[in-house]
């Protein structure tokens, strides 16, 4: 059909109108109907793996990638470390998000995802890649078990993303395997050995035999404690390594018994430690020989009871009944979790809060900018007073040598520790002069 000039002009005008409307829609900022979440002290933690949103995006979030800060909690949700980390660490993260939203009122959205790494480095690394590549996760946190922490740190460095380690312990994390995108927050094997090992030797436990979990954490804890024992005049008579995780420790305990050492150093953690203590009692090894739990948590003491653990020395980065601030935060945690927090769970909250404050202060979630801000900003909260993040990624803070109370000294459930010594952070952690981290300038 042949169009006359008037028809042609009408069609051209209509086409121009449609084109201009389409361009206008393309340039218009997307609208969201998502309301800002209202934080509540009684809010429940979402199930592992479920996203948690604590704030709505706004026009001021232009420097936040993907319009949101997304935190991944990668922890042990089902295995031997699930009691000391696990769902309690997920809860601590959610509490930090809610508190930050309430107090800081950020203009960016915050999301959380969580997953079970099953204490396996390959599973942890694969989940980290998935989160970074397809789910826009900015930071991965917690990472109990040294093998999983090191595996995820490697992926994070490759992707230029941040890791915040709370549960893993090996000093390798801030030594030969350090990265400029990682912070090691709560404790490490050097600080444990420096506290418990030294105290036990001074109490007369000058001959040692180690029962060691056969992976990097156990080996690191044995090596660090051996150095402390020898430096304080003690002797190490030998060691035996058990599979990780383990269930039957009888043959290993009998070897330790045959050594005649005054002290059997348990260079393991979680249910490996509690099962070792139970089986040592069953074989009559204790109280003839002393057990030194080189990494014990308040959850372990609770599970074993004061009768089995009374008098034991251990080193911790946190105790709920230390002061008014720790009691106030721990009560909030207890009201939700029905258990007092371990140092890993308390440290997790502190680390996430410091990260979120750094994002707000930097005005971006850019990795380099946030890491620079985290290292430049002192930490002073219920977990740590006068803490600081060093160039090797170690967060330096006070540690505490505690002794487990006798049953008649405890006034209530979870009233388990005497704080015998506060170990200043500069003494508790490895000096930078001894560091093998390539980031440290000497």
Residue pLDDT, tens place only, 1-38: 444 444 444 333 444 343 333 333 333 333 333 333 33
Question: What is d(CA 201, CA 212) in angstroms, rounded to the nearest whole number?
Answer: 19
402 in the Ramachandran plot: left (φ > 0), alpha (ψ -120 to 50) or beta? beta
Question: What is d(CA 139, CA 182) in angstroms, rounded to the nearest whole number?
Answer: 10
User: 323: burial class by Cβ within 10 Å (0-12, 13-18, 19+)?
Assistant: exposed
* Degrees, nearest 5: CA angle 433-436-437: 100
Helices assigned H by DSSP within 72-145: 86-104, 121-134
Q: Do domains 68-187+326-393 and 190-316+400-425 have the same CATH topology?
A: yes
Identify the DSSP state of 320.
Answer: T
Question: What is d(CA 324, CA 328) in angstroms, rounded to the nearest whole number?
Answer: 6
3-class secondary structure, 218: helix
Query: Residue 343, Cβ neighbours under 10 Å: how many?
Result: 24
Provide the mean pLDDT of the chain. 88
What pLDDT does residue 62 have? 45
Phi, psi dihedral angles at 210 (to 5 degrees): -100, 135
Percent over 70 (pLDDT), the chain: 86
Residue 84 has pLDDT above 80, yes or no: yes
Phi, psi dihedral angles at 374 (to 5 degrees): -60, -40
What pLDDT does residue 253 have? 96
Whole-angstrom distance between the N-terminal and C-terminal Cα of the chain?
85
Most confident of 51-55, 66-70, 336-340: 336-340
Q: Where are the beta strands (DSSP E) in 179-225?
A: 182-184, 207-213
- CATH class of segment(s) 68-187+326-393: alpha beta
Query: Residue 4, Cβ neighbours under 10 Å: how many?
Result: 7
* Residue whose pair of structure tokens reads 């609770």 in the numeric block: 302
Identify whether the C-beta of residue 400 lies closer than 8 Å to the C-beta of residue 423. yes
Identify whether the C-beta of residue 373 lies closer than 8 Å to the C-beta of residue 361. yes
Q: Which of 59, 60, 93 is nearest to 74 (CA)?
A: 93
Rg of the chain (C-alpha set): 26
Q: For the chain, give every domain's residue range.
A: 68-187+326-393, 190-316+400-425
Task: Please state the rounded mean pLDDT for residues 359-380.
Answer: 97
Residue 54 has pLDDT above 60, yes or no: no
Residue 46 has pLDDT above 70, yes or no: no
Residue 300 has pLDDT above 90, yes or no: yes
Residue 310 has pLDDT above 60, yes or no: yes
What pLDDT does residue 441 have? 86
Q: Is pLDDT larger for residue 10 or for residue 84?
A: 84
Task: Please state the rounded mean pLDDT for residues 86-104.
Answer: 98
Q: Which of 159, 48, 53 is nearest to 111 (CA)?
A: 53
What pLDDT does residue 67 have? 87
In the CATH scheme, what is the code of domain 190-316+400-425? 3.40.50.2300
State the number of CA atoms in the 13 A half-sphere of 339 facing the CB.
Answer: 21
Percent over 90 (pLDDT), the chain: 82
What pLDDT does residue 14 have? 42
Identify whether the C-beta of residue 315 lies closer than 8 Å to the C-beta of residue 400. yes
């Amino acid at each position: 059909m042949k169009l006359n000039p008037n028809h042609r002009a009408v069609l051209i005008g209509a086409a121009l109108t449609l084109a201009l409307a389409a361009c206008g829609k393309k340039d218009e900022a997307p609208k969201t109907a998502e309301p800002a979440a209202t934080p509540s002290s009684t809010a429940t933690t979402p199930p592992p793996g479920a996203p948690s949103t604590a704030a709505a995006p706004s026009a001021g979030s232009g420097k936040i990638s993907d319009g949101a800060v997304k935190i991944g909690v990668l922890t042990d949700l089902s295995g031997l470390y699930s009691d000391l980390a696990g769902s309690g660490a997920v809860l601590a993260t959610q509490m930090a998000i809610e508190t930050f939203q309430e107090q800081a009122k950020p203009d960016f959205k915050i999301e959380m995802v969580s997953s079970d790494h099953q204490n396996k480095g390959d599973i942890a690394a694969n989940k980290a890649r998935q989160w970074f590549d397809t789910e826009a996760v900015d930071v991965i946190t917690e990472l109990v078990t040294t093998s999983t922490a090191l595996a995820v740190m490697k992926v994070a460095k490759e992707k230029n993303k941040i890791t915040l380690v709370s549960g893993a312990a090996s000093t390798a994390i801030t030594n030969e395997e350090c990265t400029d995108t990682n912070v090691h927050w709560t404790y490490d094997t050097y600080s444990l050995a420096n506290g418990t090992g030294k105290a036990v030797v001074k109490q007369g436990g000058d001959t040692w035999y180690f029962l060691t979990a056969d992976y990097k954490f156990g080996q690191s804890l044995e090596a660090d404690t051996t150095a402390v024992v020898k430096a304080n005049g003690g002797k190490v008579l030998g060691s035996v390594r058990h599979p990780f995780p383990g269930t039957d420790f009888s043959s290993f305990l009998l070897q330790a018994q045959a050594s005649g050492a005054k002290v059997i150093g348990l260079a393991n953690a979680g249910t490996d430690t509690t099962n070792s203590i139970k089986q040592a009692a069953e074989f009559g090894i204790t109280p003839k020989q002393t057990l030194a739990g080189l990494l014990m948590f308040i959850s372990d003491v609770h599970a074993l009871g004061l009768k089995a653990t009374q008098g034991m020395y251990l080193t911790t980065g946190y105790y709920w009944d230390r002061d008014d601030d720790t009691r106030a935060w721990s009560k909030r945690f207890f009201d939700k979790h029905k258990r007092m927090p371990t140092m890993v769970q308390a440290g997790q909250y502190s680390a996430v809060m410091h990260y979120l404050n750094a994002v707000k202060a930097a005005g971006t979630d850019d990795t380099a900018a946030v890491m620079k801000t985290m290292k430049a900003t002192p930490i002073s909260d219920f977990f740590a007073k006068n803490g600081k993040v060093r160039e090797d990624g170690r967060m330096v803070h006070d540690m505490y040598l505690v002794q487990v109370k006798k049953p008649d000294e405890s006034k209530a459930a979870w009233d388990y520790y005497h704080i015998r010594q506060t170990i200043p952070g500069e003494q508790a952690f490895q000096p930078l002069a001894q560091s093998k981290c390539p980031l440290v300038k000497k």
